[in-house]
Amino acid sequence: MPYLGSEDTVRDLRRALANPHVQSDQLRYRNVILKVIRLMSQGLDVSSLFSEMVKACATVDIVQKKLVYVFLCSYASLNPELSLLVINTLRKDCQDSNPMVRSLALRNMTNLRLPGLMEYVEQPLTAGLKDRAACVRRVAVLGWAKLHNLHPNSEIDAVVVNELYSLLRDTDPVVMVNCLRALEEILKEEGGVAINKPIAHHLLNRLKDCDVWGQSEVLKILQRYQPQSEDELFDILSMLDSSLVSPHPTVMASTLSLFLSLCWALPAVSLAALERVRVPLLAACGSASREIRFTVLCHIQLLLRSVPGLMGAHYKRFFCGYAEPAYIKQRKMQVLVELVNDDNVALLLDELKDYCTDVNTDTAQAAISAVGRIGRSYSDRCLGILIGLLGLKQENITSAVVQTMRDLVWVCPQCSETVCSALEGCEEILQDSQGKQALLWLLGTYGDRVSSAPYTLEVFIDKVRCETSSPVKMELLTATLRLFLCRPAETQDMLGRLLHYAIDEETDMCVRDQALLYYRLLQSGIDETRKVLQGRRSDPSLGVLIGLPAEPVKHWARVFNTLKPLWQSFSETESVRGRSCQDTAFEPNSDLSDTLTSCQLESVQTERGGERTPSPADSLSSSTIVPLSLLPTLTPGEFENLWLRGFEQAGEEEDGFCMTEQVQCGNVTQPSPQSFQAAMQLVNIQILAFTPSHTLPWRVYLYTHTQAPPCTTLILGELLYTGKPTEEGGAQDGTRDDENAKKTVVGGQTEKKVNNEEEDASGIRNSGELAKDNGQRAEVKVTLKQQPRDDKALRGFLSVLITVLHTLSSQRE
Amino acid sequence: MIAQVFILSSKGDRLVYKDFRGDIGSDAVGLFYDKVTALTGDQPPVVMTHRNVHFVHVWQGGLYLVATTIAADSSPFAIIDFLNRLAALIKDYCGALSEKTVQMNFALIYELLDEMLDYGYVQSTSCDVLKNFIQTEALSSRPFSLLDLANVGLFGADTQQSKVAPSSAATRPLQGGKSEIFVDVIERMSVVMSTSGVLMKAEVEGEVKVKCFLPSCSEIRIGLNEDLSVGGSHLAGYGAAVRVDECSFHPAVRLDDFEAHRILRISPGQGEQSVMQYRLADRLPLAPPFRLFPAIEKDAAGRLLMFFKLRCDLPPKSSAVNVSASIRVPNGCISLSQELSSPDQSAELQPQNRAVVWKVPRFPGGTQLSAVFKLDIPALSSASMMEVGPVCLTFELPKVTASGLHVRFLRLVPTQHRGPTQRWVRYVTHSDSYAIRI
């Protein structure tokens, strides 16, 4: 940031630097230089002092030298010519008798990052590799890596590479580790440093000499080594055992990572390693540094995916501290939910109950939803707590409780009786749209059991003009219509009023369209309406997600000890926040199963009745219902085999069949991978692999079995989404405006922050078109392979798939 | 590998900025600050991402210590550990970690960073290695002041108890000064207690720290309680034994005499290091230091009355200091009137935290304090009672360890360095989280 009067300051400094009196007084000289560096680190541009600073470089005072180097390295790239002047001083210093001066000169020579200086640097670097002092060798080794990255195209001499390999045997452990690092960068194209058996064993033997950081680096590189025999493998594992229980979380995590990659074929050994690592992990959980604590918690969540019972007995370690920041508390609660069992449920719920009334609303909300999750297994206890919380009559608590109850009822229909009796009076307290939506859904779906439901809805309908959130209005429409179906006498009048308002006065298109749809639906007869609206009230099959079978370790072993587990959760919440900001979200929950609430299914059904873009499957969708099944399961390897084989023989083979279809739908990459996967699982389609969301082209591989009589077939599929419309689709009226708008949206989802202003600028008209545009033109290319061929089943499957895609993409609108 | 390291003040001012690899522009600083201040309460701030740049930061002493990297597969443990280590080193070299000390000693910190990291790879973080390279002298942040009487006795006489080191003694730069060695046993206690006084959770995490100001030191021996039992249940029957469940040692500690005599032998380098870390859970040797006897009722005028008796169960000779009890109260409290048993106590209502904070500066062991709080709550309902509590205590117990761990002796193996050496052993127990349910 520029400071006021910065030019004057720089001028004064230049004068001082050039002053011979200052130059002769070491202390004064150093102070002036300090001032320059201080300004520089505050972000002021002092690059114009470069030539003065170059002169200051020639001194015997090491402190001053170091300071000047800090300056020169920051600004050298702006003044390549003047930097040549420094080289002489630096080269002279490289001959100095003091190893510290030598290493300093060598390090800064390579830090200048000037491609033009290569010829001057190579010779001192070569000499540096053979220096007596370890600190010079350390610098020289890394210097080659810097040099290589400055000239990525030029070949580094094979002699140097060999020299570096031989320096792996250096007596100084840091030189050894630096060699690994340098080779890793120099040989990046060839896949990094080559680890053969002698090198691997040498590294393992030297491991103990390295410090924590060196060890973690060596362990990471060793992941690439494949032991040749089982005996060797076990020798290595037993050598590493002590590192596995190291008190340093850094070493412990990288050792575990190495264990998992070495034992990928031996699941039993990896599980034993996870058991072994429990004690140090728990110890790190109590670390004084809250950042470490958070990191450990994120990684424990990974472990729990494979070994749910790992920490069960230690649940008390995850009780939240009074002064801990909210983000750690929330992680701890997520872990606690996983740890619940018959022995600890009472104490655990008691603790969670305490958090539910926390002063921090985010913490309170997280605690309430944690209680709800436990409620799937221990519904009576949890409902007791939730109903008790309703008694507090506090807005945010009531809202969170109602949402939690809705989610709970969806999974555990047996709770509905208790929930229905507790809903009375909530409507007066609820203020936020999320809570209202949840309450409306409950009233609509279980209206026959809540005696006061029509009166509650009437209150909402009377106030509908003041309601600002359109999702609430849409939910209100659905709830009223549903209630009408089971209690027509009490509801008819208010339904009429609501439809009248929504069709005639409402300005929000989505609400109006939905009202119109319902109106026409009612015109076509009450039975039709019932068929569409009275879908399932609950989905107990989702319960499977709770008692999720243990995942194999290899699913997460790759991301263990990377930034991913910490950062993924962050980006997830960020995208959720982004959505809720626009107030268009259906379900702003990052929670996996929570995203699967009724709203999606409802829209599936309403869309079937409504006027969607005609897709080839639509005509068939009502007539064919194909039972799908996930069993027998297919491993990714098998899938790959079948998929590739299918490609070659699709034409000739009699019983195999391959088809491609363009499905028009919105941006399906929008939902998080979890919710996408979960949605697919809901209709019994298993996803095997997908690219991360928001990357284009976006691909998904999936499979399922159809079980329609007379035979069962296996269907493999690939979804490809490029984010661009195909020519036929978009050419006719694709004005420039539209194209721009689309780009904004695609970019806007990935970098919301940056593009926000842009989006605002492009105006209302564009964004209005956006939604349509996005909803209709973008196409997903679906490639399907079936074995044996059964057209009817394939069509049925396709229709299911298309419905799910539509639902997912329409979530945004 | 780390691409950049920078230190920002809480207001976002750049204090130190060093670019190691040159693949991320310096606008990362502003970007980071924008991101970290835009976070809402429920978002974990530790790792943030913008395009392909990952920001990892620790928040210590009111400063953001940030490392950026473009490699998503770097180990988060390593980076965070490194930043913590950087903070510890700054503390060692400059005496404390604060905006002021960092500003004054930025040249020293640049020098440190230069030696610690090369091309984004950690080279060395041990104080002993680094001290050979670090040339800049630290500037102490305590300016001379006539009014600063902390170290001056009455008329120059040394009135301080010679056995007690001033609390600020160890917060000074490493270089120069007296040759002293501090061994601190620091414990953090986290307790959850039910209304009836039953311990639902009790956990103590402890640490033996050595802070060494000696220029060279060959070996010290730290003798712990002879009856200390580690992890095993084999001594549980005897009750009196001091027990820890898990413990781990610094790799440099020699444990030859540990099994037989509970002696730790170590050659400490300059600066602070954690020699031993331990933990015990559930069965604490002493009774928990505080118990609370609450009574809550509604009076005729619709006010909420809270009667508290707080008893300190420490041995009579010791006492707790800076005790503060934060009592969560129902929503919508307007005013508070209190009756406290002595004038040095204080209580105030903090509406934004929905809490009444009751402060006791000094609380001797074996005594009991009582307090009555009357709260005006317009919308008082019977359910509001549910919102009262828990009571969270924060306190400090000087000269007390909750685990009973003690240092029997601290011996320096005689070396040829001149001058007498001061040896200090200090004990303190902090409350990590001490919650009492109501």
Q: How confident is the model at residue A149 (pLDDT cuts 50, 70, 90)?
A: confident
B37 contacts chain A (CB < 8 A)? no
Residue-level pLDDT at A728: 42
Residue-level pLDDT at B200: 85
Nearest CA in chain A to B22: A113
Alpha-carbon distance of B72 to B52, in angstroms, equals 8
Alpha-carbon distance of A236 to B402, in angstroms, equals 41
Smallest Cα distance from A136 to chain B, Å: 12
Residue numbers in B near A565 (CB within 8 A) = 76
B residues 272-291 closer than 8 Å to A (CB): 277, 279, 281
Question: Measured between CB atoms, which of B49, B77, B383 is closest to A561?
Answer: B77
Smallest Cα distance from A571 to chain B, Å: 8
Per the DSSP assignment, residues forming a β-bridge with B230 are B244
The interface pTM score, or ipTM, of the predicted complex is 0.86
Residue numbers in chain B where pLDDT is lower than 70: 41-43, 140-171, 174-177, 232-240, 414-419
Q: Is the CB of B437 less than 8 angstroms away from the CB of A331?
A: no
Q: Is the CB of A253 less than 8 angstroms away from the CB of B75?
A: yes
List pLDDT tens digits, range A276-311. Answer: 999 889 988 888 888 999 999 999 988 888 888 888
B residues 1-30 closer than 8 Å to A (CB): 1, 13-19, 22, 26, 29
Domains and CATH numbers, chain B: 4-125 (3.30.450.60), 173-284+402-425 (2.60.40.1170), 290-398 (2.60.40.1170)
**Residue A15: CB partners within 8 Å, gap ≥ 6?**
none
Residue-level pLDDT at A427: 83
Rounded alpha-carbon distances, angstroms, from residue A466 to A110, A395, A582, A756, B361:
67, 19, 19, 28, 53
Question: Measured between CB atoms, which of B81, B119, B390 is closest to A354?
Answer: B390
Q: Is the CB of A322 less than 8 angstroms away from the CB of B249?
A: no
Question: Does A618 have pLDDT greater than 70?
Answer: no
Helix (H) / strand (E) containing A330: helix A326-339
A residues 52-71 closer than 8 Å to B (CB): 62-63, 66-67, 70
Lowest-confidence segment of A506-520, A560-574, B196-210, B288-302 by average pLDDT: A560-574
Question: Does A803 have pLDDT greater than 90?
Answer: no
Residue-level pLDDT at B346: 92
Residue-level pLDDT at A729: 38
B350 contacts chain A (CB < 8 A)? no
Map tokens 């409802």 to a residue. Answer: A602
Q: Is the CB of A357 less than 8 angstroms away from the CB of B387?
A: yes
For B348, left (φ over 0), alpha (ψ -120 to 50), or beta?
beta
Which residue stretches of B1-40 are H helix? 28-37
A215 contacts chain B (CB < 8 A)? no
Q: Is the CB of B44 less than 8 angstroms away from the CB of A327?
A: yes
| 3-class secondary structure per residue, A155-173 | CCCHHHHHHHHHHCCCCCH
Q: How confident is the model at residue A15 (pLDDT cuts 50, 70, 90)?
A: confident
Q: How confident is the model at residue A805 (pLDDT cuts 50, 70, 90)?
A: confident
Residue-level pLDDT at B76: 92
Q: What is the pTM of this model?
A: 0.76
Would you call A272 helix, strand, or coil by DSSP? helix
Show the tokens assigned to A435. Answer: 């809570």
Lowest-confidence segment of A309-313, A581-585, A712-716 by average pLDDT: A581-585
Helix (H) / strand (E) containing A721: strand A713-721
Question: Does A592 have pLDDT greater than 50?
Answer: no
Residue numbers in B near A295 (CB within 8 A) = 46, 76-77, 80
Q: Is the CB of A316 less than 8 angstroms away from the CB of B73?
A: no
Helix (H) / strand (E) containing A690: strand A686-690
Residue-level pLDDT at A617: 38
Question: Does A176 have pLDDT greater than 90?
Answer: yes
Alpha-carbon distance of B172 to B140, in angstroms, equals 7
Q: Is the CB of A351 less than 8 angstroms away from the CB of B200?
A: yes
Q: How confident is the model at residue A668 (pLDDT cuts 50, 70, 90)?
A: low
Question: Does A686 have pLDDT greater than 90?
Answer: no
Map tokens 């809805």 to a residue. Answer: A457
A residues 393-432 closer than 8 Å to B (CB): 393-394
Lowest-confidence segment of A4-8, A331-335, B128-132 by average pLDDT: A4-8
Size of interface A-B (CB pairs under 8 A): 223
Which residue stretches of A549-626 are H helix? 554-557, 564-581, 598-609, 618-621
Helix (H) / strand (E) containing A383: helix A379-390
Residue-level pLDDT at A793: 77
Residue-level pLDDT at A371: 93
Rounded alpha-carbon distances, angstroms, from residue B390 to A361, A487, B192, B350:
16, 46, 10, 15
Alpha-carbon distance of B271 to B211, in angstroms, equals 5
> Is the C-alpha dihedral spanning B358, B360, B363, B369 positive or negative?
negative
List pLDDT tens digits, range A58-110. Answer: 888 888 888 888 888 888 888 888 888 888 888 888 888 988 889 999 998 88
Which residue stretches of A592-722 are H helix? 598-609, 618-621, 636-649, 673-682
A residues 24-43 closer than 8 Å to B (CB): 34, 37-38, 41-43
Alpha-carbon distance of B207 to B272, in angstroms, equals 12
Residue-level pLDDT at A809: 67
Which residue stretches of B262-348 are H helix? none
Contact by Cβ (8 Å): A89, A118:
no
Contact by Cβ (8 Å): B116, B86:
yes
What is the average pLDDT across A349-371? 90
Residue-level pLDDT at B348: 92
Residue-level pLDDT at B3: 93
Question: Does A611 have pLDDT greater than 60?
Answer: no
Do β-strands B319-328 and B391-398 pair in parallel, antiparallel, or remain unpaired? antiparallel
